[in-house]
Chains A and B, each alone.
Chain A
Amino acid sequence: MPDPTVILAVDHLVKSFRIHHQKSNSLKQLIAGRGRNRYDDFLAVDDVTFDVHEGEVFGIIGQNGSGKSTLLKCMAGILQPNAGSVRVTRRMGALLELGAGFHPELSGRENVYLNAAILGMGRKEIALRFDEIVDFSGLHAFIDQPAKTYSSGMYVRLAFAVAINVDPQLLIVDEILAVGDVSFQRRCLEKFVEFRNEGRTIVLVTHDLGSVKSLCDRAIWLERGKAIDEGDPSDLVEAYTERMLGAEAPAADGSVRRGSGEIRITKVEMFVNGSAFAVKRCRTNDDVLLRLYYQAEKTMPQPVVGIEIQSLGGATVTAPNTRDVGMVPPTMWGSGAIDVSLSNVALLPGTYDIHTTVTDFNRALIYDHLREALRFDVMTGKPYETDGVVTMRPEWKLS
């Protein structure tokens, strides 16, 4: 008896494509080439099985060409599987591309109606949600202008507003987080979180491993069409990055480097309370300056630099990056240094490691990840607490 909480069941799904050595799209070629029309079958999805339960956020990770999109298209009913089945028991909405079917000559209003109908909504339903859609897009003033007058940002906003208002119980999303500006991405993300909190189910394909970790309850890892692992997203992402980047041998100082290497953090130095001498120790409440020396072999656009401070016990204390504060340089080239100043350090006595990362803007490609770039000790300062790793500078009052 099927489990009633399973609302998407993918069962031994197989999808292959024919790779024609000579693509024949004309009758002549077909007739002339009959019998010697050579092709190979390419297995894009190879016997994949998994269930998605109601209220879950389910992630799919894998490299480009691992079959993620094909799998998604099979789930959405766009492609017919060669074998196996997909069973969906709730109203499904698939966001594979925003604004598919938008017509530039039609007005925003007309496009909203048409697009919503393409996504499967009835006329009354659209009329009911129309105001909400326009509100979300923020395009009140332009809704009766032809879509060709819209900027690409407006276009995407309207398209997302329609897609999200189709009100699916099961939402399938492909890489949508990669479009639009940062504020738009944040709004999309908020909407997904809202969806999740409402108990709806989301299947997410993304390169942004961070959002897989933070959003998903469970994930599957595809490689060459096969599901090679399934489970907790954090473990999966960890294993995935491990595999993708391949750890290099540890250096003499114990640091381990990974990444594609276009930009590297060569050294991290620590200065305390304005001193010019690099040290490896400080006290609680000191002003600490971390200097990250980098070397960029190629000009890389919009690199995001991040540090992670980890206690010896393995807990991440803090992990700031330049994207969060809107300090992403347009490009980075040559060599130089980046300073991170941390005033009144709240770390309690113990040993800590600093890891550094340099990624692309979407944090999908890791240029450099240096583990244990610097190990330092925190000595007793003020305030002092026996337990824990950071102090919140508590003020106690007996009453």
Chain B
Amino acid sequence: MAHRNLLYLLSLKELRTRYKKSVLGWAWSLFNPLSQMLIFTVIFTYVFVAKPLAGDPSGLKNFPLYFLSGLLPWNFFSITTSVAMSNVQGGAGLIKKVAFPHEHLVFSVVAAQFVTLLIETAILVIALFVAGQNALPWLPVVLPLYALWALFTAGIALALSAFNVFFHDVQYLWTILSQMLFYVTPVIYFTDALPDVFVGRVLNNVANYGPTGSYIVAFHNLFYDGRWPTGWLLLQLAAMAVGIFALGMWIFGRLSPRFAEEM
């Protein structure tokens, strides 16, 4: 009871302090994905010239919207995991002086970033609507899927931030790993457009069936294509979310009693 209150207040703190002392404040959280979207659009329209594939069955042929529907959830994942690590590390003063459930330092970041994700998604839905694709009917599926994605992200964030207390290399390693992960996740390319050579086939498999890739595929299905992800995919995503979260909780639970003396 009291700890739910703690989680709520810690999340509120995350949200309140994030854009303190900045003039544009919350608008910054929108500029980030928008600028990325712009960069990728320019690059793929003028530099490495490629054609956006049509959404099936939506018929949408639009790079910016395709990028955004994958970028928003991806950014949630990558920002949450890295901020969670520094939040736990930065909570050293608290961890050493007060007994409280340490996992709330991670959950509060997940919750605060989730709020950001929801706001950004609202913008995406409006943009899709303007482009002629009504995403509203899919929201009842998107939201539970977001929840699973958040659970998956929380699991990874828990494990990483627990390891990071013992070895600070984890955060640097993760910067590199998450960048690699970004490119094997179909955020800025269409898997159907990958060349039918060995590397292309490998990438195709990883992008479609890898842990992060399969979530992004589902989000593309819902936002860009305007169709249901396959039932098999949904089942896989749910199982992965629960499994990774349980694993993360277990690792964190095993390591967190030793935080106070390691910090």
Contacts and interface: CB of A to CB of B under 8 A. Distances in A.
Contacts of A338: none
18 contacts: A17-B261, A25-B168, A26-B167, A27-B173, A94-B98, A96-B97, A97-B93, A97-B97, A100-B97, A101-B98, A105-B16, A106-B17, A110-B13, A114-B13, A118-B94, A119-B98, A121-B2, A126-B5
A280 interface: no
Interface in B155-187: 166-170, 173
B66 to A, nearest CB: 38
Interface residues of A, number: 32
B257 interface: yes
Given A78-B260, A94-B98, A100-B94, A106 B2 contact: no
Contacts of A119: 98
B96 interface: yes
Contacts of B261: 17, 79
Contacts of B5: 117, 121-123, 126
Contacts of A25: 166-168
Interface in A51-98: 73, 76-80, 94, 96-97
B190 to A, nearest CB: 37
B97 A120 contact: no
Contacts of B173: 27
B10 interface: yes
Given A78-B98, A79-B261, A106-B17, A30 B167 contact: yes
B97 A79 contact: no
A122 B2 contact: yes
Contacts of A126: 5
A363 interface: no
B111 to A, nearest CB: 14
A34 interface: no
A50 interface: no
B13 A94 contact: no
Given A78-B96, A101-B94, A101-B98, 19 more contacts: A27-B167, A27-B173, A28-B169, A30-B167, A73-B260, A76-B99, A78-B99, A80-B257, A96-B97, A103-B13, A105-B16, A106-B13, A106-B17, A117-B8, A118-B94, A120-B3, A122-B1, A122-B2, A125-B2
A113 interface: yes
Nearest to A124: B5
Contacts of B6: 117-118, 120
A100 B95 CA distance: 9
A121 B1 CA distance: 9
Interface string B6-20: 101110110011001
A117 B10 CA distance: 9
Judged by DSSP, the binding face of B is helix
Contacts of A114: 9-10, 13
Nearest to B1: A122
Given A100-B93, A105-B17, A110-B13, A118 B100 contact: yes
A117 B98 contact: no
Q: Which 3 A-B pairs have the closest CB atoms?
A: A77-B99, A100-B97, A117-B6
Nearest to A111: B13
A96 B260 CA distance: 13
Contacts of B8: 117, 123
Contact of A105 (B12, B20, B95, B97): B20
Interface string B30-74: 000000000000000000000000000000000000000000000
Contacts of B94: 100-101, 118
Nearest to B93: A100
Contact of B17 (A27, A73, A79, A103): A103
Nearest to B259: A78
A118 B8 CA distance: 11
A14 B3 CA distance: 29
